[in-house]
C-alpha cells in the first residue's frame, strides 16, 4: 500500500485496498485488560482450550501467525528433503523450504495425484491461494498415508478454511506426519495480532516451541484471540455474511467482463492476459488489487462497506 501510494501519488488513506483477502469487517476487539499488557504471556491461560474447541483438535501450539510455523517446519525436517509445492500458491512456503536447503518441486494441479509417491514432503494451501482450489479431506488423507508410510510429511495451510470448517483436516492432526496451519488473520480479520496455530502431534509441537522460544505470542494478542475463538454467535453470523459477500463479488466481476476462475467467500481470482493493464487502471483510481504473473491473473478481496462496493463497481466500469 505504501509503495502504491508513492507510485501513483495517492495518499494511503484514500485507497480502497482489496489486495489482502482479509475480512474487512473483522472481529470487534473490545478493551484489553491491563494485566495482558503488564504480565508476560502465560501458556494455558484459556487460549489453548478455546482453540482446541474451535478447531476440534487435540494437540496444537499458538504461534506468531502461521508464518512462524512456515519458517520453522523446514528447519526441523533434518536432512535435505524433496518438497512438493503447488504452483501458483502462497510463495512463502517454497521460499522457506528453499532457504533451509531443501529441494522444492513446483507442481501443477494435474501432477498432485502422483506426487505423494515421490516426495518427502507435500505442502498445500487449502483452499489454495490464489486459485481457490479446494482439495477434499479424503484425497488429502490418502496422500498423507502414502507419505507417512515412508516417514514423509503432509503440510496443509488452512488460512482460508474458516468459512468451510467441514473441509478441515484439523481433527486428524494427532496422526504422525500431518501438520495443519491455521491463522486468525483472514476470517477473523486479526492479521495485525499475529496469532496462528500449528496442529500436529505433541512431540513435534514441543520441538517447534523449543525452536521459537518462549512468549512467541504477546499477551494482548492471546487475550483477543481467545475472545474471537469463543464467540460462536459472531462466527456463525460472519460465515453467513461472507458467503453472501463472496457471491456478490463474483457476480460483480462477471458482469464487468472478468468472470472468476475460482473463489472463496473472502476473495475471487480472475485469469486474464490483461491483468497488468487492469491492475494499473484500477490503481490510478486508488483501488489496489493483487496481480499474479504465472498465470496472468488478479485477486480481488472484499469491499467493507456499501460505499466501497459502489466504488469498486464504478472503478471496474472505468477500467
79-103 pLDDT per residue, tens: 899 999 999 999 999 999 999 999 9
Take residue 151 and report the three cell numbers written for it.
516417514
pLDDT, residue 113, reads 86
What CA–CA distance (Å, rounded) separates 167 from 109? 18
Taking the mean position of all CA atoms in its chain, how far away is CA 225? 16
Q: Which pTM was predicted?
A: 0.95
Q: For the chain, state the CA radius of gyration.
A: 20
Rounded Cα gap, residues 317 and 292, in angstroms:
22
Instruction: From residue 250, give the alpha-carbon distance in Å to each of 161, 216, 302.
Output: 19, 38, 10
Paired sense of beta strands 153-157 and 178-183, if any? parallel
What pLDDT does 27 receive?
98
Q: What is the pLDDT of residue 280?
A: 98
CB 199 within 8 A of CB 60: yes
| CA distances from residue 102 to 67, 72, 196, 207, 273 in whole angstroms, order as listed | 18, 13, 24, 19, 33
Residues in the chain with pLDDT values less than 70: none
Q: What share of the chain is helix, strand, coil (3-state, %, to 5)?
A: 45, 20, 40
Closest Cα to residue 197, out of 183, 211, 177, 176? 183
The residues, any chain, with a CB within 8 Å of residue 279's CB and separated by 6 or more, are 289, 291, 298
pLDDT at 78 (0 to 100): 86
Amino acid at each position: 500500500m505504501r509503495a502504491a501510494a508513492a507510485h501513483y501519488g495517492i495518499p494511503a488513506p484514500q485507497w480502497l485496498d482489496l489486495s489482502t483477502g482479509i475480512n474487512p469487517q473483522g472481529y470487534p476487539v473490545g478493551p484489553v485488560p491491563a494485566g495482558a499488557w503488564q504480565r508476560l504471556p502465560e501458556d494455558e491461560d484459556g487460549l489453548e482450550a478455546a482453540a482446541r474447541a474451535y478447531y476440534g483438535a487435540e494437540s496444537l501450539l499458538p504461534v506468531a501467525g502461521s508464518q512462524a510455523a512456515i519458517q520453522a517446519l523446514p528447519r526441523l525436517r533434518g536432512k535435505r528433503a524433496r518438497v512438493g509445492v503447488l504452483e501458483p500458491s502462497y510463495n512463502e512456503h517454497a521460499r522457506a523450504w528453499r532457504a533451509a536447503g531443501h529441494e522444492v518441486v513446483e507442481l501443477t494441479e494435474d501432477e498432485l495425484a502422483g506426487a505423494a509417491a515421490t516426495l518427502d514432503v507435500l505442502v498445500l494451501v487449502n483452499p489454495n491461494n490464489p486459485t481457490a482450489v479446494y482439495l477434499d479431506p479424503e484425497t488429502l488423507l490418502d496422500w498423507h498415508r502414502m507419505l507417512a508410510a515412508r516417514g514423509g510429511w503432509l503440510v496443509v495451510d488452512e488460512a482460508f478454511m474458516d468459512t468451510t470448517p467441514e473441509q478441515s483436516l484439523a481433527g486428524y492432526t494427532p496422526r504422525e506426519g500431518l501438520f495443519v496451519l491455521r491463522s486468525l488473520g483472514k476470517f477473523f480479520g486479526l492479521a495485525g495480532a499475529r496469532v496462528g496455530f500449528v496442529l500436529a502431534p505433541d512431540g513435534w509441537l514441543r520441538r517447534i516451541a523449543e525452536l521459537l522460544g518462549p512468549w512467541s505470542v504477546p499477551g494482548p494478542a492471546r487475550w483477543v484471540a481467545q475472545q474471537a475463538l469463543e464467540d460462536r454467535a459472531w462466527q456463525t453470523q460472519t460465515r453467513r455474511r461472507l458467503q453472501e459477500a463472496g457471491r456478490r463479488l463474483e457476480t460483480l466481476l462477471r458482469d464487468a467482463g472478468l468472470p472468476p476462475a475460482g473463489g472463496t467467500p473472502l476473495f475471487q481470482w480472475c485469469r486474464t492476459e490483461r491483468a497488468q493493464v487492469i491492475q494499473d487502471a484500477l490503481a490510478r483510481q486508488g483501488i489496489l488489487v493483487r496481480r499474479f504473473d504465472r498465470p496472468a491473473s488478479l485477486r480481488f478481496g472484499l469491499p467493507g462497506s456499501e460505499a466501497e462496493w459502489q466504488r469498486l463497481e464504478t472503478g471496474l466500469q472505468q477500467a
